[in-house]
Chain A
Amino acid sequence: MSATNCLRCLKRPSVAGASRGVVVPIFAPRSAPFSTTAVQNAMPGKPQKSMEHQDRSIRVYRAGKRMKIRKKDNVDRGKPPAPGERKAFRKKIVLSNDNALPVPWVTQMEAGSLSDPKQIGKIVSLPPALQDQLRATEAFQPTQTWGLFRKPSTLVRQESVDLMSKMEEAVENKKTARIVLTGEKISGKSTMLLQAQSHAYLNNWIVIHFPDAQELINGSTEYASIPGTENPTLYMQQNYCLKLLQSIKKANEKILAKLLSVSSHSELPQNITVNQPLLSLINAAKEADGAWSVFQALWNELNAQGANRPPILLSMDNLPHIMKISEYRSSAFEKIHAHDLALVKLFTDALSGNTRFPSGGAVIAATNRNNGPKIPSMELVLKQRLAEQNGETEGVPVKDPYFKGYDDRVEKVLKSVEVVEVSKIGKREARSLMEYWAASGLLRTTVDEQTVSEKWTLGGGGVLGEMERAALLTMKI
């Protein structure tokens, strides 16, 4: 029923070859005065090119005794996609589907709706302004099924309420919540991260989001050593920094326009004096050169003590990637540990608790299971942390004394984080979700306990992504 393309639009008007033999009435207008339809027979008087080709090919075949291998006539295959076009298509994010039915009971997300226990099991939609902000930080992912529904909306889960209340608690105490989201494949870790960001945006936090940690370490952006850093030498990634600054600016424009600088920054490409809005500070980064110093200045401004700054959310998806040796090499051609990249170091410092935000905030990182590298240290420490949080004393995993793959730096970063496991959803939540699917016109069944139970079981006992696969797979294009 609700494909992204309307069924009526499937018949394309420009079928040039099909109507070739049809006699075109003389009185028919050549083209409509205002029409987007292609003219079917563009030049009726011109001889057809394809016939010519055919004749020549026959002659060649009959005349020669030896086989002649001719270069084929240039076949027009259309314009190849411009550089970046394929990637843009791959990364395209569609957030709405006009053919899906609107669901009447879905409410819009508000500042407190994600931390309200009463909202558990309800679907809330993202307000348009928030959508723009989330788009700017690349919080939506092309693999998620936003494009199936009328409006982008999410399910408020038990875990989301827990997470948001942790964030709120941290801000109340002016502390930094340091959280790592773990869980099975497609159990909703990235969506949880998106919810955390939504909560932060709606509560006027400053959000700095690294959408994919892999981009920082896989050698796809330029890097250079930061002068004056030794033992270890740190490396900046100016191009990535510029991109990050622009996304920060786009997403946090309103707040940054209100915040004023507390110190002057004469070292920047554009001199920033005291009491200038931070937005103009970001605007100083016009090119990749100097982006790192601008980012550093911004970070220092945001963390300035006694300046009444808003809380900060620092978040990162695909955490395991930054817990290993990066693809970059030093000038001595030695491999660089990911934690020696300045941007990564900024994040890991915050995650390990070395950096404290002046008015509190949160550092949230989500692990990934599909594409992520296996980091033995990380897995071990997270398991230990989880066991410690649950008060378990037996069966706590211990370090294998004879295994060489552990990394002390990773352990140091993660040793005091809080682990939130994004687990499977309950049947109540599953039912409300499936009712939403059915009301959107995506599930052609009556949603009763039996159907819910069936899909819940098929989805590995409530793994949200698997349930989606079981129920909506036919809908995904």
Chain B
Amino acid sequence: MASAANSLRLCLRASRQISVRPAASPFLRRALTTTAAQCARPGRKKGWKDPSDHFEFPEPYGDKVFNDLGEQLRYSLENDELTEAERETVQRALSEWENKPNEEKLEEQQIIKEIDKEFAPLRAPVRARRNAFWNAEEQDTDLITDEVGEDDFEENDMMAMGHAKLEEHREYREYARIAVWEMPLLSKFAKKFVPPKDNEVLRFRYTTYMGEFHPADRKVVVEFAPRDLTELTEVQQGKLCKLAGARYNPEKQTIKMSCEKFELPAQNKRWLGDTIARLITAAQDPTDTFEDIPLDTRHHKFKNIPKYPKEWYMSEQRKNELLAQREESLKVDMKKRRAHDLIDGVKLIQQGVLSAVKEKEPTMVRVKAR
């Protein structure tokens, strides 16, 4: 309820006439002063409060109180700066008011007073309490429900987590029901996959977001291989690839293009079809066949996927080969071992050390000093 009242308040505020106040008289500033401008202002007493501190809705005519509508309209005609049309409207309203019988005037006045009285608390601005921490006790007038005491547990129900678990189960069961009862019915709509025929070259892709609005749901993508366009010669196909520019994928040898210019998928598809038709006619144009221009593939990054080498696959033949090699090498070793030709690093090192020890170390000899 509070939110309805609030919106009403906002409406009233918007439709209110804004007063045209006379501009503040320009007061002279001293050329050189150390006093703050505010304090130097005349007519301000000690208890004066800046109106910006506590905001209130500005009354259109200041503190002036009108007894009835006629008075207000008359005042407006005399004092406000109005355009011709406004003046006419006000004049008309005034004459209408003056022509009304007195009872009606009184009644209307009464109604206005009552409305004002009713809305007085709503018009009062909501002010944060000075000592409140993070405005904790502030009322949220925008909320529909009354939050007070909502989280209190009254010992007569499951906890919230229990409810959540139950909700989860309900969801499971709902989908299980759909799977059992409704999904099988979908098979009626199943269509058999028919591979595209030779003359069906273009492959379109549409996007649907299952009825939801999405900015990309109008997008249509078309992909086709220039090779499949059999009415084109090889040179013309090459020209088509070159015309397609960065839309040509040299690895898959396809051209892919998309359109989301227009509002409807059908329009986008039409545009794509037209573009492809124009491309083909341009490719068939014999005045320049683009044969002297090499195909530009700078836009495409070729992926080098290393493959397991064929020679490394183990086959029966390869196994036999390896076995034969091993036998051969064993034979070579055996032959060398028998001939004592096999070289043993450890043994050779020992021999070397022994022969080094056998060599006599040089000794000091006493020589007569000269």
Contacts and interface: CB of A to CB of B under 8 A. Distances in A.
A445 B333 contact: no
Nearest to B333: A448
A145 B211 CA distance: 75
B309 interface: no
A448 B348 contact: no
Contacts of B348: 101, 438-439, 441
Nearest to B337: A448
Given A33-B369, A402-B296, A435-B343, 7 more contacts: A101-B352, A438-B348, A441-B345, A447-B344, A449-B330, A449-B332, A453-B329
Interface string B333-344: 100100000111
B298 A443 contact: no
A155 to B, nearest CB: 16
List of 4 A-B pairs having minimum Cβ-Cβ separation, nearest first: A449-B329, A438-B345, A401-B294, A101-B352
A429 to B, nearest CB: 15
A33 B369 CA distance: 9
Interface of B: 294, 296-298, 329-330, 332-333, 336, 342-346, 348-349, 352-353, 369
Interface residues of A, number: 20
Contact of B346 (A33, A401, A445): A445
Interface in A421-438: 435, 437-438
Contact of A449 (B296, B333, B345, B349): B333
A346 B348 CA distance: 51
Contacts of B349: 1, 101, 441, 444
Contacts of B344: 438, 445-447
A441 B343 contact: no
A33 B332 CA distance: 61
A1 B353 CA distance: 9
Nearest to B352: A101
Given A33-B369, A402-B296, A453-B329, A448 B342 contact: yes
Most chain A CB within a 10 A radius of its CB, from B296, B329, B345, B369: B345
Contacts of B297: 402
Instruction: Say whether chain B's binding surface is mostly helix, strand, loop, or mixed.
Output: helix
A425 B139 CA distance: 88
Interface of A: 1, 33, 101, 401-402, 435, 437-439, 441-450, 453
A444 B294 contact: no
Contacts of A33: 369
Contacts of B336: 448
Contact of A444 (B298, B329, B342, B345): B345
Q: Tell me which of B296, B297, B330, B349 has the highest count of chain A C-beta atoms within 10 A of its own C-beta.
A: B349
A438 B333 contact: no
Contacts of B342: 446-448
A475 B333 CA distance: 26
B298 A446 contact: no
Given A435-B343, A448-B342, A441 B352 contact: yes
Which of A402, A441, A450 has the largest number of chain B CB atoms within 10 A?
A441
Contacts of A448: 333, 336, 342
Contacts of A442: 345
B345 A443 contact: yes
A348 B318 CA distance: 48
A437 B349 CA distance: 11
21 contacts: A1-B352, A402-B294, A402-B296, A437-B345, A438-B343, A438-B345, A439-B345, A441-B349, A446-B343, A446-B345, A447-B342, A447-B344, A447-B345, A448-B333, A448-B342, A449-B329, A449-B330, A449-B332, A449-B333, A450-B333, A453-B329
Contacts of B294: 401-402
Nearest to A434: B343
Contacts of B345: 437-439, 441-447
Contact of A447 (B298, B343, B353, B369): B343
Contacts of A447: 342-345
Contact of B343 (A402, A439, A449, A450): A439
Contact of B298 (A1, A402, A445, A450): A402
A445 B343 CA distance: 8
A216 to B, nearest CB: 35
A444 B369 contact: no
A134 to B, nearest CB: 28
